[in-house]
Structure 1
Amino acid sequence: MNDQIEKIVAQCSTASSVIRELHDIPPYRVYEVELDTRRAVVKVDDHRRGHAADEGRVHEYVATETTASVPEVLAVGADHYITVWREEIAHAATQIGSDWAHAAGVWMATLHDDTAGVFDGFGQLRNDGTGLSLAAHDTWADAVIERISHHRKYLATKGYADAADAVEAFFREHPHVFDAVGKPVLCHDDIHPEHLSRTSGGECIAIDFEHALVAPPEYDYWRTVMPYFEASDAVDETVMQAFQDGYESVRPLPGGFEERRQRYRLLNWVAFLESLYLQQNVDPDKREEMGDWMRTRVYETLSEVRETVG
């Protein structure tokens, strides 16, 4: 892999070097490099599920077309992208506290506000060679179904296609459950302290747009709250309220977003099942047990949601 990185950085400078590997989490590898005298970060595909070029174009769009702070993008290639090094990210906090949560809410709402009215539908943004393209769905329900189908392809290789099929079938039967979600915005889709760092001025700077999606604002909100706030014993209601207050200091959340919480939980459980196996962030001897536990949560949540849907 180092040879591949060296070739990438050699295209961007007359004197370049690979300093160290920062992350090796499928489907990507991330490296700190030096381009001439400038420190930078390279993210490169390392699995068929990787799409660093798409991510790079999204990151580039945020950097150039919004006021949500991100590192500058230096280059986007067919299987990688390069950004400038930012010290705040290298020394990011690992804990979620009220100050971080409030600043994170402001950053997320700023991204949403700056991209409101830009997109004509919901879905996945792709690199078209020079910029971004969107194969848009008219409804969020259709985009959700496509997203679940994408996860299913991988989950089928691990024995969990049934969980994805059950959730997809529900949304096909009840597309109206997302009728009032609001207009599409660009969503980061994975806000937590490793991806969003506070600057010395108390604001935030974000990285890692691999899951970015054009979706309703509340999707991004619940995608942050569920795995990083609700699931943490260290995060209390004060922190969660700080996050919501930060968000609503920029723009309001849509009416009814709390009632739709469990519907987003369904989508998230399917995505988390894929991450469990793809990113290999759980010991192999515990992975199947965790996967089966998550499958059970899918069916339990689906049962709860069915009780609330007319």
Structure 2
Amino acid sequence: MQDDVHDTLATYTDQYEIVRELHRVRPHVTYEVRFRGERAVCKLATHPEAELGREAAAMRYVAEATSVPVPELLAVGDDHVVARWLDAVPDESPARDEARIRALGRGLATLHAETSEIGWTGLVRPASAVDDPTEPPIETEPCWSDTLLALLDDRRRFLDGVGYGELAREVVDWVRANRELFDGAGDAVLCHGNYFGEHVALGSDAERVHVTAVIDFEHAIAAPAEWDYLRTVLPVFGPGADHDVPERVFREAYESVRPLPTGFDRRREALVLCLTLCYLRSLHLQRGDRDPAHAVARRSRRLAASVRERLAALRDQKHRRTDA
């Protein structure tokens, strides 16, 4: 991989230096580098599932179309991104308190409010296919259920290779049979997909805590805001949370900027089902090359059991409504 990072940077300049490896979690590795005399971060693909061209397109659009602070891109390719270093970005997930939780809520809602003109759902196109960075780099899908099904079917293809393909098919089939539940979720916005932890830098002034930088748009997608809301609150407020702030605080802060779509609470469990399936795929992709196989298998069984339980509960709810 050292050869890869040298080859990548040498494509642009002979004025570079590899300082240190920062983070290695499949499908990426990141390095601190010196690039044309500047401190920078180089992110490289290490697996075919990486989509750095799409991440770069999302970052460019956010930089051009919103007030959300993101790193300046210095070099972009389908398998690499070089961005100017931001001192504000934390090395690890910071401790959370109520003020920081509220800042996260307002920050996520601001990203959504300032990208609400997108007008359609879809996956992000790679930067190489985008001519105008001020235009939404989004592949057009007829409706949210189409985008969601495309996303879940991609997860199903990956899970086929690790023994959970049939479970993924059950979820995809259920979503396809219940399209109308998802398609009433309101306008599409740019969803970050990982708006928590070390991906969001926070600072403070005399008034309050605020967002100073947002990085890692690798899971960006155009979708109803509730998708991104849940992708944030599930890890931030789920088991193992490092704080005792209730989700209510985050939601209040979010809705002080932008209300969640009508009917969100009715759709919540169905969306959590879809997200849990996505997390099952991420577990195998991200943990598969660094954790013992038995540990990955144990976590996989727990996640798969959660998917089955949620799917059974949703089916039961629908049967009860039908019988009534």
Equivalent residue for 2:239? 231
- 1:217 and 2:217 are equivalent in the alignment: no
The whole-number CA distance in structure 1 between the counterparts of 2:241 and 2:75 is 40
The whole-number CA distance in structure 1 between the counterparts of 2:40 and 2:12 is 11
| TM-superposition CA deviations, 1:112-139 (whole Å, max 9, x none) | 11111224x2121111515264322222
Describe the SS at the equivalent of 2:197. coil
Q: Which amino acid letter does the alignment assign opposite residue 125 of structure 1?
A: V
The whole-number CA distance in structure 2 between the counterparts of 1:50 and 1:164 is 21
- 1:109 and 2:109 are equivalent in the alignment: yes
Q: Is 2:235–2:241's contact at 8 Å kept on the other side of the alignment?
A: no
Aligned residues: 308
Q: Is 1:125–1:214's contact at 8 Å kept on the other side of the alignment?
A: yes
The whole-number CA distance in structure 1 between the counterparts of 2:170 and 2:46 is 30
TM-score relative to the length of structure 2: 0.89
Equivalent residue for 2:196? 192
The whole-number CA distance in structure 2 between the counterparts of 1:213 and 1:141 is 13
Describe the SS at the equivalent of 1:71. coil
Q: 1:148 aligns with which of 138, 146, 152?
A: 152
Q: Which moved more, 1:283-292 or 1:26-35?
A: 283-292
Q: Any gaps of 5 or more consecutive residues in structure 2?
A: 131-135
Q: Is 1:97–1:239's contact at 8 Å kept on the other side of the alignment?
A: no
Q: Is 1:57–1:76's contact at 8 Å kept on the other side of the alignment?
A: no
| TM-superposition CA deviations, 1:112-170 (whole Å, max 9, x none) | 11111224x21211115152643222221111111110001110000000121111111
User: What is the CA distance between 1:252 and its match in structure 2?
Assistant: 1.1
- 1:241 and 2:245 are equivalent in the alignment: no
The whole-number CA distance in structure 1 between the counterparts of 2:237 and 2:301 is 23
Q: 2:284 aligns with which of 277, 300, 306?
A: 277
User: What is the CA distance between 1:89 and its match in structure 2?
Assistant: 1.0
Q: Which moved more, 1:253-262 or 1:127-136?
A: 127-136
TM-score relative to the length of structure 1: 0.93
- 1:286 and 2:302 are equivalent in the alignment: no
- 1:256 and 2:231 are equivalent in the alignment: no
Q: Is 2:145–2:182's contact at 8 Å kept on the other side of the alignment?
A: yes
| TM-superposition CA deviations, 1:11-42 (whole Å, max 9, x none) | 44452101011111100111110013310001
| TM-superposition CA deviations, 1:64-95 (whole Å, max 9, x none) | 22111111111211311111111121445433
Quote the RMSD (CA, aligned, Å).
1.8
Identity of matched residues, %: 32
> Structure 1's 6 and 143: CA in aligned 2 closer, same or farther, altered over 3 A?
same
The whole-number CA distance in structure 1 between the counterparts of 2:277 and 2:175 is 13
Equivalent residue for 1:94? 94
Describe the SS at the equivalent of 1:3. helix
Q: Is 1:276–1:282's contact at 8 Å kept on the other side of the alignment?
A: no
The whole-number CA distance in structure 2 between the counterparts of 1:128 and 1:81 is 11
Describe the SS at the equivalent of 1:134. coil
User: What is the CA distance between 1:185 and its match in structure 2?
Assistant: 0.5
User: What is the CA distance between 1:287 and its match in structure 2?
Assistant: 1.3
Describe the SS at the equivalent of 1:96. coil
Equivalent residue for 1:300? 309
User: What is the CA distance between 1:110 and its match in structure 2?
Assistant: 1.0
> Structure 1's 233 and 11: CA in aligned 2 closer, same or farther, altered over 3 A?
closer
Equivalent residue for 1:173? 177
> Structure 1's 8 and 200: CA in aligned 2 closer, same or farther, altered over 3 A?
farther
The whole-number CA distance in structure 2 between the counterparts of 1:284 and 1:15 is 41
User: What is the CA distance between 1:277 and its match in structure 2?
Assistant: 0.8
User: What is the CA distance between 1:235 and its match in structure 2?
Assistant: 3.7
Q: Which moved more, 1:245-254 or 1:207-216?
A: 245-254
The whole-number CA distance in structure 2 between the counterparts of 1:128 and 1:52 is 9
Equivalent residue for 1:123? 122
Q: Which amino acid letter does the alignment assign opposite residue 166 of structure 2?
A: D
Q: Is 1:103–1:246's contact at 8 Å kept on the other side of the alignment?
A: yes
- Which structure 2 residues correspond to residues 25-44 of structure 1 after superposition, within 5 A? 25-44=25-44
| TM-superposition CA deviations, 1:219-276 (whole Å, max 9, x none) | 100111112212234443x442221122112111122212211111111111111111
Describe the SS at the equivalent of 1:297. helix
> Structure 1's 57 and 149: CA in aligned 2 closer, same or farther, altered over 3 A?
same
Q: Which moved more, 1:198-207 or 1:76-85?
A: 198-207
Q: Which amino acid letter does the alignment assign opposite residue 143 of structure 1?
A: T
Q: Is 1:89–1:197's contact at 8 Å kept on the other side of the alignment?
A: yes
Q: 1:182 aligns with which of 166, 183, 186?
A: 186
Q: Which moved more, 1:209-218 or 1:285-294?
A: 285-294
Q: Which amino acid letter does the alignment assign opposite residue 244 of structure 1?
A: R
Q: Which moved more, 1:206-215 or 1:298-307?
A: 298-307
Q: Is 1:18–1:32's contact at 8 Å kept on the other side of the alignment?
A: yes
Q: Which moved more, 1:99-108 or 1:208-217?
A: 99-108
Q: Any gaps of 5 or more consecutive residues in structure 1?
A: none
